[in-house]
Amino acid sequence: MSGRTTPPGANPLAAPGTGKALSLALILAAQVAAMSVWFSSSAAIAGIKQHYTIGASQEALLTTAVQIGFVAGTIVSALLSLADRFDPRRLFALCAAIAAVATACLIFLPPTGGAVILLRFLTGVCMAGVYPVGMRMAATWANRDLGLLIGLLVGALTLGSASPHLLAATGDVEWRAIYGVASASALAAAVLIGFVKLGPNIRRASAVDMSKIAQSWRRTSLRRVNLGYLGHMWELYAMWAWLPVFLHQSFADRGMENSDAKAAWLTFAAVAVGAVGSWFGGMLADRRGRTFVTITAMAASGICAALIGWLYAAPLAVLIPVAIIWGITVIADSAQFSASIAELAEPSSVGTLLTAQTCAGFLLTMASIHLVPEVRDLFGWPGAFTMLAIGPFAGCIAMWRLRRDPEARLLAGGRR
Give 289-336 pLDDT, tens digit per residue: 899 999 999 999 999 999 999 999 999 999 999 999 999 999 999 889
383 and 259 within one domain: yes
91 assigned to some structural domain? yes
101 and 187 within one domain: yes
130 assigned to some structural domain? yes
Domain span at residue 146 reads 16-201
223 assigned to some structural domain? yes
Last residue of a domain, one of 172, 201, 230: 201
CB 167 within 8 A of CB 185: no
244 and 135 within one domain: no
415 assigned to some structural domain? no
User: What is the 8-class DSSP label of residue 86?
Assistant: S
pLDDT digits (tens, 9 = 90+) for 107-132: 998 887 889 999 999 999 999 888 87
- Taken as a whole, the chain contains a residue count of 416
Per-residue b/e over 69-103, b at no fewer than 16 CB within 10 Å?
bbbbbbbebbeeebbbeeebbebbbbbbbbbbebb
The mean pLDDT of the chain is 83
Per-residue model confidence (pLDDT) at position 10: 42
Q: Which amino acid is at 335?
A: A
pTM: 0.78
Best mean pLDDT range from 50-64, 225-239, 396-410: 225-239
Q: What is the mean predicted confidence (pLDDT) over 83-94?
A: 83
Question: Using CB atoms within 10 A of its CB, is residue 21 exposed (0-12), middle (13-18) or buried (19+)?
Answer: exposed
Report how far residue 340's alpha carbon sits from residue 221's, in angstroms, rounded to the nearest whole number. 10
326 and 263 within one domain: yes
Q: How many domains does the chain have?
A: 2
368 assigned to some structural domain? yes
Q: Which CATH number is 93's domain given?
A: 1.20.1250.20
241 and 178 within one domain: no
Per-residue model confidence (pLDDT) at position 400: 95
pLDDT above 80 for 63 = no
Per-residue model confidence (pLDDT) at position 298: 97
165 and 99 within one domain: yes
255 and 182 within one domain: no
335 and 313 within one domain: yes
Per-residue model confidence (pLDDT) at position 275: 86
39 assigned to some structural domain? yes
